[in-house]
Structure 1
Amino acid sequence: MATTRPPIGNKTLRLACLLLAPCSLLAVSVAQAADKPLLDRLFQDHAVVQRDRAIPVWGQASPGESLKIALDGKTVSSRAGADGHWQASLPALPAGGPYTLSVTAADGSSQTAKDILVGDVWLCSGQSNMELQVRRTLNLNSETSGANNDRIRMLTVPQTGASAPQDHFAAPVQWKSTTPQNVPDFSATCYYFARELQKTVDVPMGLINASLGGSRIEPWLSAQALRKVGGYDEALDTLALHAKDPQAAAAQWGTLWAKWWSRQPQVKKGDEPWNPAASDAGWKAAPKTLVDYQTWGVPELASYTGMLWYRTTVTLTKQQAAQDATLAIGNVDEIDQTWVNGRGVGSSSYGGSPRIYRLPHGLLHAGKNLIVINDLNTYLAGGMMGPSDTRALKFADGSSVPLDTNGWQYREVPRDIGTPPLAPWLTVSGKTTLYNGMIAPLGHYAFRGALWYQGESNTGEADQYRRLLEAYRDDLRAQFGAKLPLLIVQLSSYGPAPTKPAESGWAGVREAERLVAAEDPHSGLAVAVDIGERYDIHPANKQELGRRLARAARHVVYGESLPPSGPLPVAATREGDTVAVSFRDVTGKLVAYSSNHPIGFELCGTQANSCSYADADLRDGKVLLHLDTPPAHGIARVRYCWADSPFCTLYDEAGLPAVPFQLDITSSPH
């Protein structure tokens, strides 16, 4: 890819040097102008653009400048707006290439992007199981050594969040072809999907991977989409303030967090640990060296995940308190909510990165100042940790006061208090941050469809997940096309195998994913519950997942008549003393692995925790369920594979698993 601009004559440059000394600075600015691209970063060497539809192209130029854009002999015109942004729409092309994309401005400057292919382009998004690289999957050596396919190319979006929608990526991006050197870092789910699909859809495949491990679904939605869902206005208003004034937003969020705390039934009235006037009751001395609190030797904390309070005091002189200051609290795993003298000053997420918060002028005062941190830890090690010198108040004159001098205290939190609200600017758990930083910069790039593999981080709020996933689907279509196909990976399995029926957040998210796919003709589902790993939340068999996604695409996107995802439940009806479950999308017939009878079925009442395992038989293409002793509360629902990590043995003759589900039981019409 090359950018050229007309040279500035020596006379012009010398005159500029005389008028705008120093000349060396001007020479730098001229060089920077010459390197400024006209095309958006998406449109560079080796890019793949969508076939059989108009091709949107855009970039930046001087305000008001006219431009000519050409691809494969087709030329269109555009003009940059007052902000310098320009956009154009090139005529549709069939699959093919390579072509050269060129842009020429009225001032003679130009840019070309070479080796452009036209094919099908896919957006692959989600959390760590979408991010998971090929190098972490099965048969790595054989998968990489033979990976030479210039017709599958991937662009990986830089991982970042933002408080407001961004026009450009946070870092340079690059389209990369499938080679032994490149493919180990490709998203495995995305790559194996395209490789399988290309066996039947023989066109170039462009893959844009926008994923981030640990992310919830809310950060992937635009602000407009979240407001339509409802219940997020306070967080979104605070996020909008954060984009303009982070200090004011931190204080506002501290107030909202405090309101949540005071509403919890486990919290005594007037209990405000961040308040300098609060009681000392319940506070205990923390170890002098701060490490993972699970290793402190405190039995109550040995395997605890949840919230823990920390506090300390710092004594300042009048001269210190009058200076601008920042608060460094070092590494906190995972999420801190921090107050100074009763005012919220910041919140950040995950360990490994030091937390540094700029304090508003006038917050500190001479004498004793109170610093309070609420730490939320949801997985393994947690708490404040790391070297003492990473925790200090730092002043404008370069001096600092360590925070550990007076020692830290800690206070436990009621175990059943639940999860506090999370600051909306947090990258992986905030509101609309990943949309702003990773999806908004994609503009209106043309896609054939989107793949979504996410939900692990939302299993605690499965009831809300369906509404959020519907909003995500509609949000994508508002940006990239009204009928954009969405292929959803139903959550895999993870955790201990069940020994009795129980409620399951993982199963609840799977059901939400099933229902969202079922309600929309342009959506498909890939079942993954049988290819998970109980001891690893990141199952390595992404090859089979890619095959299932490609099968769903062949049905949903390309209109093939093959069943897209394996047996899907149609109805559960009472037939005498049994309940019959019927299925569709069955290839051949239903089969049970390793038994004459499928397992994993439950019959339930209307209330939670009212389920019992049911015996099952296969007969005439149905599953017949019965209980030796029907429960006193009656039977109202059927569940299948309803657990975090269930054993499921119902398949069809194509080797595809039946979809985990829950259905209400209806009376037989006979």
Structure 2
Amino acid sequence: MKKQNYIIFLLFMLILASPHQAAASQPDWLPARYSDNMVIPKGKEVPFAFECKGKKKATIIFKGETYQTTLKNGWFIGIIPKQNSYGGPFEITFTADDSSQTIKNVWVGEVLFFSGQSNMEFPCKNLKPKLAVLPKTQKHISFFNVQTQGEQSKWVTPNATNIPELSALAYLSAIELSQNMNIPLGVITSAVGGSRIEEWLAPEFENHKDLLHPQSLDHINKGQKAKLLYTTNSTFLNKYIYDLSFISADANAEEAYADLVQHQRIVEKKFPTIRYLFKITKSKNKFRVSSRCTSKMGIPYIRSTNTFERTRNYPFNILVWYQGEANANDLKDAQSYRFLLDNFIKGTQLSNKDYTPVLLIQLPEYIIPENHQNTWAYIREAQANTAASNPNVRLVPALGTGNKDNVHPPDKRELARRVAAQLEQTLTNKPSVTPQLSNVVPINGTLRLIFTNTYKGLKSSDSIISGFSITDSSGKEILVKAKLINKRTVDIALPVPPKEVRYAWGNYPKFSLYNSKNIPVPAFRLIAQ
């Protein structure tokens, strides 16, 4: 996966374009993201911010209603209230004193934010087999791709010219969802190849201090050399700024400082978007060592080019998140992913001001060269556990869509079908489409596993159920037999008391269980108490 020097995460908070980049159909004071084909999220207040130099009063006119704006530091800020029904096409007229501009073909629909790393970024032009015929949609669909640098995007409707550059997973999922539900859709994509989850975190999530230096606090605080005093100062200009300070007695300050610098240089190489600055000061008989972390990480706000006063949230209805490969490089990384993912979800929902539904795409199968630590299995486990513990998070398993030799599987159709099915269930407030382990019952040398969301029942893609194993007290893995008892129940044989029970465990595991909607049972692991 490719690396980029600047990673911009806008949990659907779109960067404002500079005036000279606006299209001819717009005034030079209207940001590019307010363009024809725009989709307003149903059920959400939608803030607007635009700069009109020299103007004193501005309004926003939508569906015959006029909404006033407030002027702050040269920017007019207004809100269109919640729209509780689908509809369109509409127009939005922006006025500023004696000038005005109207954007057309505006719809009220579901705004879906697709984000993550390179498998989400993967464009339609790289699909294999290629798209032979462009699918027809039932209702309006618009796409907006957040640019990490350069000229900003506008809302576009899919056509033969722009489809090759669209995210394949986002495009195929949206097309299928549109055909199934016949509702207007706005699709936002913001994905960066090779990005780690640390680079997408919002500043507001809990326990932020523990993530300032991934894997590191023990290192910089070993031997209780230093008392750590945490602050989380942030700026919303063009970067994050975090401060980590600690005070140490004279005898230990120099060594503690050296440890801090050494560690952060290591982290700096691992996260190319992060840079550290160091400062050590002495006050009486104590030293204060300060570390400032600056990053081009994305933030969950619409960021202007130079001032926070110009920024306001733009809401969305559902986040589809496909990431984790870059955090599976070593075992310690993979085992700490759950904590990072939980806080990423918290930051996402906080930035969107509600409990926004999140769909987590569980990693597919893949053989990692020279990696025998099952790191992808631990990432999948973290994704499954996060979904199981949060009622607003749903899992989309990708098992069966992977490629043992290619971290970027070139066919996204089956995964898109699963994403679309889960989106439909979520939008219609129906149960998850993904089967989930709900109960475990020991019975005379067997372990009975009971699943929910099986619909018409579980089935095996093989003549025998494969993918189950246990570990004994020594940690040795033993393959075990499994039997389908009824539509919801599987019994597995226990030749010895298990330390762990595993299903589809490993980087490139065996698996065979599906529900009647052809959604695979996600990988999981049970640890004996």
Per-residue CA shift, 1:430-489, capped at 9, x if unaligned? xxx1227x8656842231211100011112312222222222222122122312111110
Whether 1:123 aligns to 2:103 is no
What CA distance in whole angstroms lies between the structure 2 residues aligned with 1:462 and 1:483? 26
Cα pair distance change 1:178/1:493, threshold 3 Å: same
- The residue type equivalent to 1:204 in the other structure is P
Contact 2:39 2:107 in 1 (8 A): yes
What CA distance in whole angstroms lies between the structure 2 residues aligned with 1:97 and 1:82? 33
- The residue type equivalent to 1:529 in the other structure is L
Cα pair distance change 1:497/1:559, threshold 3 Å: farther
Deviation at 1:66, TM superposition (A): 2.1
Whether 1:451 aligns to 2:320 is yes
Counterpart in the other structure of 2:46: 55
Cα pair distance change 1:151/1:466, threshold 3 Å: same
What CA distance in whole angstroms lies between the structure 1 residues aligned with 2:233 and 2:473? 40
- The residue type equivalent to 2:478 in the other structure is S
**Match among 354, 365, 381 for residue 511 of structure 1:** 381
- The residue type equivalent to 1:155 in the other structure is F
- The residue type equivalent to 1:524 in the other structure is R
Cα pair distance change 1:131/1:424, threshold 3 Å: farther
Deviation at 1:233, TM superposition (A): 6.8
**Match among 477, 481, 491 for residue 624 of structure 1:** 491
**Match among 66, 75, 89 for residue 66 of structure 2:** 75
Cα pair distance change 1:54/1:238, threshold 3 Å: closer
Per-residue CA shift, 1:609-654, capped at 9, x if unaligned? 44322222222342222254x2xxx423211111111121112233
Whether 1:473 aligns to 2:345 is yes
**Match among 508, 513, 528 for residue 650 of structure 1:** 513
Secondary structure of the 2:527 match is strand
Deviation at 1:193, TM superposition (A): 1.4
- The share of aligned pairs that are identical, in percent, is 25
Cα pair distance change 1:173/1:469, threshold 3 Å: same
1:556-567 aligned at under 5 Å gives the runs 556-561=426-431, 563-565=432-434, 567=435
1:502-651 aligned at under 5 Å gives the runs 503-561=373-431, 563-565=432-434, 567-595=435-463, 597-605=464-472, 609-620=475-486, 621-628=488-495, 630=496, 634-651=497-514
Deviation at 1:201, TM superposition (A): 2.1
Contact 1:229 1:471 in 2 (8 A): no
**Match among 154, 159, 184 for residue 179 of structure 1:** 159
What CA distance in whole angstroms lies between the structure 1 residues aligned with 2:206 and 2:55? 35
Contact 1:119 1:204 in 2 (8 A): yes
Whether 1:659 aligns to 2:522 is yes
TM-score, length basis structure 2: 0.76
1:418-497 aligned at under 5 Å gives the runs 425=294, 433-435=297-299, 440=303, 443-459=312-328, 460=330, 461-495=333-367
Secondary structure of the 2:416 match is helix
Contact 2:42 2:85 in 1 (8 A): yes
Deviation at 1:63, TM superposition (A): 7.8
- The residue type equivalent to 1:86 in the other structure is I
- The residue type equivalent to 1:128 in the other structure is S
- The residue type equivalent to 1:202 in the other structure is N
Contact 1:239 1:424 in 2 (8 A): no
Contact 1:505 1:644 in 2 (8 A): yes
Contact 1:568 1:583 in 2 (8 A): yes
What CA distance in whole angstroms lies between the structure 1 residues aligned with 2:56 and 2:472? 69
Count of residues in correspondence between the two structures: 462
Contact 2:110 2:317 in 1 (8 A): yes
Contact 1:47 1:206 in 2 (8 A): yes
Contact 1:149 1:177 in 2 (8 A): no
Contact 2:471 2:498 in 1 (8 A): yes
Secondary structure of the 1:444 match is coil
Secondary structure of the 2:482 match is strand
Contact 2:139 2:183 in 1 (8 A): no
Secondary structure of the 1:529 match is coil
Contact 1:498 1:643 in 2 (8 A): no
Question: Where do 5+ consecutive residues of structure 1 fail to align?
Answer: 1-27, 161-169, 250-254, 265-273, 275-306, 308-333, 338-346, 351-421, 428-432
Counterpart in the other structure of 1:151: 140
Counterpart in the other structure of 1:86: 77
What CA distance in whole angstroms lies between the structure 1 residues aligned with 2:476 and 2:302? 42
Contact 1:572 1:663 in 2 (8 A): no
Bigger Rg, which one: 1
What CA distance in whole angstroms lies between the structure 1 residues aligned with 2:236 and 2:352? 28
Contact 1:149 1:179 in 2 (8 A): no
Secondary structure of the 1:475 match is helix
Deviation at 1:584, TM superposition (A): 1.3
What CA distance in whole angstroms lies between the structure 2 residues aligned with 1:513 and 1:573? 24
What CA distance in whole angstroms lies between the structure 2 residues aligned with 1:256 and 1:434? 31
What CA distance in whole angstroms lies between the structure 2 residues aligned with 1:617 and 1:260? 54
Secondary structure of the 1:484 match is coil
Whether 1:223 aligns to 2:203 is yes
Per-residue CA shift, 1:110-129, capped at 9, x if unaligned? 22222212211111110001
Instruction: Tell me whether 469-478 or 223-232 shows the greater mean CA deviation.
Output: 223-232
Per-residue CA shift, 1:83-126, capped at 9, x if unaligned? 524232345263222222111123x1322222212211111110
Secondary structure of the 1:230 match is helix
Cα pair distance change 1:113/1:35, threshold 3 Å: closer
- The residue type equivalent to 1:435 in the other structure is I
Deviation at 1:40, TM superposition (A): 3.5
- The residue type equivalent to 2:259 in the other structure is K
What CA distance in whole angstroms lies between the structure 2 residues aligned with 1:244 and 1:211? 18
Contact 2:45 2:79 in 1 (8 A): no
What CA distance in whole angstroms lies between the structure 2 residues aligned with 1:449 and 1:458? 23
Cα pair distance change 1:90/1:625, threshold 3 Å: closer
Contact 1:60 1:85 in 2 (8 A): yes
What CA distance in whole angstroms lies between the structure 1 residues aligned with 2:447 and 2:368? 29
Per-residue CA shift, 1:132-173, capped at 9, x if unaligned? 1111223324144x567771111100125xxxxxxxxx5321
What CA distance in whole angstroms lies between the structure 1 residues aligned with 2:166 and 2:26? 29
TM-score, length basis structure 1: 0.61
What CA distance in whole angstroms lies between the structure 2 residues aligned with 1:426 and 1:606? 45
Deviation at 1:601, TM superposition (A): 1.0
Counterpart in the other structure of 1:101: 92
Deviation at 1:198, TM superposition (A): 1.4
Secondary structure of the 1:474 match is helix
Contact 2:118 2:194 in 1 (8 A): yes
RMSD value over aligned CA atoms? 4.2
- The residue type equivalent to 2:299 in the other structure is Y
1:142-541 aligned at under 5 Å gives the runs 142-144=132-134, 146=135, 151-160=140-149, 171-225=151-205, 228=208, 230-232=210-212, 259=259, 348=272, 425=294, 433-435=297-299, 440=303, 443-459=312-328, 460=330, 461-495=333-367, 503-541=373-411
Contact 2:198 2:211 in 1 (8 A): no
Cα pair distance change 1:183/1:243, threshold 3 Å: closer
What CA distance in whole angstroms lies between the structure 2 residues aligned with 1:261 and 1:465? 24
Deviation at 1:79, TM superposition (A): 2.0
Deviation at 1:605, TM superposition (A): 4.9
Question: Where do 5+ consecutive residues of structure 2 fail to align?
Answer: 1-18, 217-229, 244-254, 275-290, 305-310
Cα pair distance change 1:587/1:507, threshold 3 Å: same
